[in-house]
Amino acid sequence: MVRVDFDADKAFLTEHNVRSQSTILIFRGGREVARLVGQSDRAAIEQALKALSA
């Protein structure tokens, strides 16, 4: 897990088209496989992670 500073790491945000501070990107093999935008509760995050193993 990596936390990105929304105000300091503009290059990362631009590269990954992140527009909102409350964005979770999930990567597998260096590729984005899921994106949660907005306030995500634990259940939503767990569901996104479980979908990766399906």
> Which residues are CB-neighbours of 20 under 8 A, at least 6 positions away?
37, 38
Helix (H) or strand (E) holding 47, with range, is helix 42-52
Taken as a whole, the chain contains a residue count of 54
Question: What mean pLDDT, rounded, does the chain reach?
Answer: 91
Mean pLDDT, to the nearest integer, of 13-37?
Answer: 92
- Domain residue spans in the chain? 10-52
Higher pLDDT, 51 or 1: 51
pLDDT confidence of 46, banded at 50, 70, 90? very high
Read off the pLDDT band of 1 (50, 70, 90): confident
The Cβ of residue 18 has, within 10 Å, a number of other Cβ atoms equal to 19
Report the chain's C-alpha Rg in angstroms.
Answer: 12
What does the alpha-carbon distance between residue 17 and residue 5 come to, in Å, rounded to a whole number?
15
**Total Cβ atoms within 10 A of residue 6:** 14
Residue 2 pLDDT class (50, 70, 90 cuts): confident
